[in-house]
Amino acid sequence: MKQKHLLKTNRLLLIVHSITFFFGTVGLITQLTLAVDMPKANSLIPLILNILVFLGGFFVYGKGKYTDNYAWYVGCGYTLVYAFMLLMSTSALAYPYLIPIIMVLVMLMNKKRVVVVSVAYIIINVIRCVITVATAADPSTASESVMLEMIVSVLVVIASLTGVKLLTEFFENSFKEVNDALEKSTEATGTLHKIAEHVDTETASAVEDIENTRKLSETSYQTMNAIADGVQTIVDAIADQKSQTENIQGAIDDTHKRTEEIVALMKEMEKSLGEGIEGVDKLLDTVKNGIEATHDMELAAKALTDKTQSVRGVVDVIVSISSKTNLLALNASIEAARAGEAGRGFAVVADEIRVLSEQTRTETENISAILNELVEYAGNVSEKVQENVALSDTENELASGAREQFDSIQSQTGILATNIAEMGSKVNSLRDANEKIVDSVSTLSSSSEEINASVDSAVNASAENVELVGKVGKVIEDIAKNVKELNK
């Protein structure tokens, strides 16, 4: 992002430098041609220096358009050209030429560079003003242009220094806020994704362990059937059954341990989902408050329109009264004229009343025009408020949709937690059954007289193991499917 900003700013600086070079060159050539009373060197030196700095700028731009080297070169180089142009000329018309360069340097937000160029700019203009006043035939006449030049120079320096400071603070604060929000979002997403991946891994491992347990249970079941069919192989079958049962017990313990880890991870996931739902609820509250405020504004705009209409009615009444007063004043003037000398004073009063009536009517018409404008403005405000209401409703729908998505995730998580709890219950049942097998095998080893009864018990227990392992395997597969859906 920084390189793109530097590239765009350097391009703008190249364009501004090209334009100032063109007008500066035209001005110097014109001065060289028309200024007969001024030495040619006063125009040639700035002209040559202007061309050299401009040509050198193309080379620097080609090498460092993604850095601030070109801006530094133009700032220093053109400041030197500007000094020669302003101090070696009899005219001060070149004093604004450096202002566009300074404005572009402000956009780069390098305070040191802006300070250097701005200080050089103000110093050069102060020197030029002193020379102008000192060499002027009439200092009082020259002081007006000098004051204008100094005011513009000071305002440019203040604006540039303040601008680079404000831009720097604005971008730093903006980047900080964006980075903070991005870090929080990334952290929450990463935690959720990590938990889901860990659950997926642990579930796959559990499926594998359950499959091994199922195979071992089937082997145990087959072994017990073989024991029932042939008593001669009882001793070897018992030893093999004992070994297989110990392996089953280890697999069950490992499965139980992994189930506990999955439960802990599910609790962390539920906590993260709860925080996400709280955030969405706060957003919904904010959107609802905005909608209520917008509706209040709409009601206020309508009330303003109604009140304005009421005032317009009053104004119409005042206009009617003014017209009638004017007519009465006219009739009184006619009657006073008929009265002759005796009605002269009354005629004066009637004329004054007529004049006041005309003024009242004029002002009332002005008030009516203002009220018409108020009605129009109130209508515009009402339209804008209605647009804001529509936008607020859209925001409310989007926030509600996000809330529903979080609720769906929480529901899926609840299902996953229920399945895991059921898996834990099944594993405990499986462990209990396997302990029974161990007891049975020990009994078979210690007492051959109870072999037949023990074999029957072992066969039944092995059948239960196979059934339980099949159920647990199915539960684990469902958990794996839910985890994969959650990862999507």
Domains of the chain, each with CATH number or no CATH? 2-135 (no CATH), 191-323+378-487 (1.10.287)
Q: Please give the structure tokens belonging to residue 481.
A: 């499917």
Q: What is the Cα–Cα distance from 179 to 54, expressed in whole angstroms?
A: 40
Q: What is the Cα–Cα distance from 50 to 89, expressed in whole angstroms?
A: 14
Q: What is the Cα–Cα distance from 265 to 258, expressed in whole angstroms?
A: 11
Q: What is the Cα–Cα distance from 446 to 224, expressed in whole angstroms?
A: 17
pLDDT of amino acid 230: 64
* pLDDT tens per residue across all 488 residues of the chain: 567 777 888 888 888 888 888 888 888 888 788 876 778 887 788 889 989 988 988 888 888 777 778 888 888 888 888 888 878 876 666 667 788 888 888 777 777 878 888 888 888 878 878 877 777 777 676 677 777 777 877 888 888 888 778 877 877 787 677 677 667 766 756 665 676 566 567 666 766 766 776 676 677 667 767 766 765 665 676 677 667 767 767 776 777 787 777 777 767 777 776 777 787 678 778 868 877 777 777 777 777 777 777 777 776 777 778 778 877 777 877 877 787 777 777 777 777 877 877 887 788 778 778 877 777 776 777 777 677 767 777 877 776 777 777 677 677 767 766 776 776 677 677 667 667 766 766 776 666 566 666 666 766 766 676 677 677 667 767 776 776 665 56
**Where would I find the beta strands (DSSP E) of 371-484?**
none
Residues 455 and 225: beta-carbon distance below 8 Å: no
pLDDT of amino acid 305: 75
Distance of CA 126 to the CA centre of its chain: 46
Report CA dihedral (153, 158, 161, 164) to the nearest 10 degrees: -100
Query: Percentages helix, strand, coil for the chain, rounded to the nearest 5?
Result: 95, 0, 5
pLDDT of amino acid 462: 63
Q: Please give the structure tokens belonging to residue 445.
A: 């080893």
pLDDT of amino acid 454: 64
Q: What is the Cα–Cα distance from 273 to 275, expressed in whole angstroms?
A: 5
Neighbour tally for 460: CB within 10 Å: 15
Amino acid at 260: E
pLDDT of amino acid 401: 78
CB-based contacts of 11: which residues, under 8 Å, 6+ apart? 65
CA dist 409 → 128, 264, 488 (Å): 73, 18, 11
